[in-house]
Copies of this chain bind each other. A is one copy, B any other.
Amino acid sequence: MTITFAPPSASKSELEGAGSFTPKFDAHGLVTAVVTDARDGELLMVAHMNAEALALTIETGVAHYYSRSRGKLWKKGETSGNLQTVTEIRTDCDQDAVWLKVSVAGHDATCHTGRRSCFYRTVHLQDGKANLDITDDHRHFDPDTIYSAS
Contacts and interface: CB of A to CB of B under 8 A. Distances in A.
A3 B131 contact: no
A2 interface: yes
A-side interface size class:
35 or more
Contacts of A19: 131-132
Contact of A17 (B40, B98, B134): B134
Number of identical protomers: 2
A25 interface: no
A90 B20 contact: no
B133 A119 contact: no
Contacts of A133: 18
A62 interface: no
Interface string A62-99: 00000000000000000000000000111111000111
Interface of A: 2-3, 5, 16-21, 32, 34, 36, 40-43, 45-46, 55, 58-59, 88-93, 97-99, 111-113, 118-123, 125, 128-135
8 contacts: A3-B125, A3-B128, A5-B130, A18-B121, A19-B131, A40-B41, A89-B122, A93-B112
